[in-house]
Structure 1
């Protein structure tokens, strides 16, 4: 079994990397919270989202708990607020009524915590217990903050009022990408036992043997999804599962979230701006039920997460599982649309350098991709460092999403990274691609 082995970095190199990823996350948190006034910061823009000020203080509190107190063994900064920012004690809908830190207090708190973290980083040894080996706890906190940054970006998409965020448009398509790709039968290593910052649900690496299957070369686009809408896809129960149709009916769904009629066509409201749909852009803000219905209408299905990961990692020449579709090196702006550099998915064909060896494009970045798999632990899973990150969500209620979005930072995105959500959720930057079983004439 071949799993990419990550070499331990010299302490000074690791410290620089940690400082860089923590700093990048904080710069983004500041951008997302300072883009609005204090009234907007404390407002709840949707009952399924927290006020932005809660997210800001929460990332500071998690950083204090794990790095200042646990790793550093230092005195608490604000032990009196731990319960307020425990995500499992207070549902999102109830958080505005809590005695939360105000905007000024929250900013001071997270800055104080960060100062203490950088102070302890200067002298930390990256050996000994598992939590600090290879800087894991620091990487976990950087990933956690970036995950909340993406959540805050989704909150910005839900807010009303004039635009407050801006970014250059994504690159145009560089190559035409159409059709499907045959993924040959055979085993591959799924997950990782060696990536030092892989989270518990990505572990351990294990062998999975798949029959041949066919995967779309690119995510489903607005134009392709519009054909489903125009063909009455939202009014025809036969394309939907039972739970999917019940939700579609009760929620009154008729198109992806944020799509609006624009005369005889459709437009899209994105971060306070309304514009016509971009035909070759991956469709975004669709729930699992919608993705599943489209796939049925197209005569296909959603891929399993094992199928998605094999397409993203398996190298047909070496047989090795790589960290990304293009290889093992970290993403660059030529590989993928990540890190909120743009505020939209890029058109299909915009990142030929990021394609897999078999020719599957844009598996990383642009839109999270729904898979058909429920969220479960891998064989031999062990919760680390706490059950509430992954294990409490295992079961049939949540479906796995893969690949990251334009709002996902590279530190929290790799081909083994697993996201999950309820099938009805559409506020996330979610899209999909389709799969099907290979026909005998395609494999023989």
Structure 2
């Protein structure tokens, strides 16, 4: 879930390049990953009083990443003339090397713990198709956290077509798409009442890429709207307060309704949080564009944001190993110690993975892959309609990578 962002120059702001031109979004990525980590620690290790209540539905952090993905891709590639093949290769270079390495790591831990591993699950994971298959073994048999990359791969495939839609290119169309995406999420959640099998319902509402596409689409239209001058109705910290308030409201709901029921906050926390995350991302981006300090874009915040993709893929593997090694804690103090150990070890491994695996392999693959064609010389005008002319993502027909 790593994305480059580009923004107009801000007078008086420090010069930034590449993925950190919207530094607050990079910083937010770390906090979203942290919420997912704490969610897994609460549910798989043991809860910590108070904190676990707030992150009991922290899986919504994945929804944040889907919204952020659409926002940053639209922001970055709007107006860029990039062939779709180049765009897709760049996305492959971004996510697949670390996926492959962490899947090998995950399978190695499973085998070391004496657990059987499904070869079909590993292949499905590496092919990024596992979220399409309603089988828990396939979904989690490679690297359990990697299911969201199957959704991301789908988003990347449809992104050029989305950006070519006339409705996406107009302010009125984007408003309608935003309204329909929010209403569609509510209808999808209510549609869970038609699925009586809890495991099928969880797959259809929480994993299936088609269901999650609404969140990505909301991010796309928000990114284009902000790029064209729209400003969200709330600033950054009120948007943060809305997100926190939403998760606080889930606490009494959780106590009243078991997660196994369709009207529990489990799926609602993921499907209905997208509008709040879109406001949050838009508000943070606007603050960066306008040169306002947010506290989210400092050097360490950016560094942690860079590590967050690896942290997301690695932390559950570390949890699995620590539980096998030390067992489930029985007191608050031992729970806190095991939490601290998992966070420290997984974050350290993530830093190493970013520095020695993710970043260098991405650069290598991008250098070896297809590139944006050089612009024609003035005396050799381009012929977009000529046979063999590359399909591009442009301001008129889409956005590139």
TM-score, L = length of structure 1? 0.26
| Structure with greater proportional strand content | 1
Q: TM-score, normalised by structure 2?
A: 0.29
Higher relative contact order (CA 8 A, sep 6+): 2
